[in-house]
Structures are given as C-alpha cells and as structure tokens.
C-alpha cells in the first residue's frame, strides 16, 4: 500500500520556486522518525543496512535519505506491522493529526507545508511530538 508519493505533491498547486524535493520532506520526517524508533520495515535493515546507518548517524538529511532510499514514495514496506498501524492512524486517516503537528513545530510561520526545513534541528523539534502521539496511540492499542 502506498501512503504518499512526492509526485502527488509537486504537481498542481506546488509553490513555484521550491525544488521538487520539498514535496518529500514531510514523508521523510515521518519515515525517518519511524525507522529511528524501531518501527521500520525489514527491507531497510536487511537490504540497505549501510543507508540505514547513514540515517542513524545523521550523515545525510532526512529528505536526502528518503529520496535516495524510498524513491520518493512512502509505502507499507517502509514500516513494520506496528509502524503501519500507527501510520494508518496518525498519518493516513482523516482524523490523523500528522500534518497539523508537522506544521506547528516550525519556528516560523510556514507559507505552506512544503516550506518546512529539511534539517536535523527541524527533525529534533518534530520528534518529541511524534513520540507523544505514538505513546498516546500505543496506550489505546494495548
């Protein structure tokens, strides 16, 4: 199952002047957080361990890693069973709060969600929110 695809974002109303890569940043932040919190699919650990190490050691930005390793697509293969259940609840569902949480963690008023900074400092601001949402979800799932 495909949750999201950067190409869905950089067409149509995508802001002029932004690089297409910015259409993947929100997915990159979520998938990176999942992989760094033991919610990643086996494909990353088993087939691409060197790339996963680059992510874990922050040798590349979340978006660069995502584009290079996920072909700009966020699919169920990227996550394990628990990660997929969380993604369906938090990222995919109509009631999911991912986008609201994502935009609210920026230090500046974002013109659009595509203006979110692709950096580890931005990731570090988003990470506690994702952890909080995961913990809340886990408490209701257990």
* 8 or 68, higher pLDDT: 68
83: containing domain: 2-10+19-141
CB atoms within 10 A of CB 118: 19
The continuous run of DSSP H or E covering 25 comes out as helix 25-36
Mean pLDDT confidence for 53-73 = 95
Cα–Cα distance measured from residue 82 to residue 78, given in angstroms and rounded to the nearest whole number: 12
Average pLDDT of the chain, as a whole number? 91
Question: pLDDT band at 93, cuts 50/70/90?
Answer: confident
* Total tally of structural domains belonging to the chain: 1
Question: pLDDT band at 142, cuts 50/70/90?
Answer: low
């Amino acid at each position: 199952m495909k949750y999201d695809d950067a190409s869905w974002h950089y067409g149509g109303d995508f802001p002029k002047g932004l690089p297409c890569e910015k259409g993947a940043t929100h997915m990159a932040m979520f998938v990176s957080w999942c992989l760094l919190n033991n919610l990643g699919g086996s494909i990353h650990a088993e087939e691409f361990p060197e790339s996963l190490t680059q992510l874990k050691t922050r040798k590349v930005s979340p978006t660069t890693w995502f584009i290079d390793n996920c072909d700009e697509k966020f699919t169920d293969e990227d996550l394990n069973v628990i990660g997929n259940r969380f993604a369906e609840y938090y990222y995919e569902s109509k009631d999911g709060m991912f986008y609201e949480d994502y935009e609210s963690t920026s230090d500046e008023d974002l013109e659009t969600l595509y203006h979110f900074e692709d950096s580890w400092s931005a990731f570090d601001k988003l990470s506690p929110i994702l952890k909080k949402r995961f913990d809340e979800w886990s408490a209701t799932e257990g």
